[in-house]
Structure 1
Amino acid sequence: MIRLVESMVGDHPARAVLVGSNDPTATGLARAEALGVPSFAVDHRPFNGDRAAFEEALFARLDAAQPDLLCLAGFMRILTPGFVSRFEGRMLNIHPSLLPKYPGLHTHQRALDAGDAEAGASVHLVTPELDAGPILGQARVRIQPEDTAETLAARVLKQEHRLYPAVLRRVLDGNLSRLDLEAE
């Protein structure tokens, strides 16, 4: 998320108004504050599985900031259809696979186990179904014979840092056509 915030300079049409996390220990919170962007955490654990109460606490923080668009990155909670509907068409997510392949967790290991020739990242509009919204952009990397889930994840992350700012710029310019990036 911090790379996305850092990209919002100069002629970029977006400005971060708030950075939030469900993990109060996330390093990005302090880094956002250092960049002059207010941050917050709503730890899901004290809610003991009460997703509605967790999301209401999240709404309270978001509503106060009045964001035009939500950009999810590393937010490790599945959002309810009610939450998603409040931001319908205004919420993006980045996912570390070439969707529709490998929604959910352990994407890099799953790509390796399947013998895939490539992996990557996808930016999509968030819909109630997990990682199933319209794909707005993808970045691909070739899987190397020596790759592990960790080495592949590191290479994909570099592409995520290129992809998300580029897709965000296009979305804010009204361009919802798909962007495909090859690895540098």
Structure 2
Amino acid sequence: MHADELVYRAATAADISAVVALVESAYRGESGRRGWTTESHLLNGQRTDAQDVGEAIARPDSLVLLAERDAVLLACCHLEKQGDAAYFGMFAVDPTRQTGGIGKRVIAEAERVARAQWGVDRMRMTVIVQREELIAFYERRGYARTGQIKPFPYGDERFGIPRRDDLRFEVLEKPLGEVTA
């Protein structure tokens, strides 16, 4: 194995606490401020919890994909089949390792897995509209703004405690093309 190689695998129940810690470190609190993916300026509170991660791991047509190097968790994302598309979410890269290309590689692997495992032809995600730099990152990966807006779940602290009253999500989508062997 090359020193820079990432190893991908599906998370199990034994990985729940590590996934929660990674996601929280990337999106919330002081460690999240070191990376560019932080939402701390928009939300307080938690980003996910053990129950959410456990349910994502256990649900049919759902998986939490882990990216590791030397058995150290560096990144994760959640994939879920939704009709003829796969939903991509809970994407996190260790804040101390961001901007090194890991995120791009994990997205590419997630797209490959979604096509291979479910035969879907599109990947879909929701991004807080105020996260323009994050939307631009996804646009550079081939995702397009659909114009479809979804409400932010105000009042449900499982998704964080909003610091402003105008948060909402926009749906981004990317065609995945043909499934190749």
TM-score (normalised: structure 2): 0.33
Name which structure has the greater RCO, CA cutoff 8 Å, separation 6+. 2
Larger strand fraction of residues: 2
TM-score (normalised: structure 1): 0.33
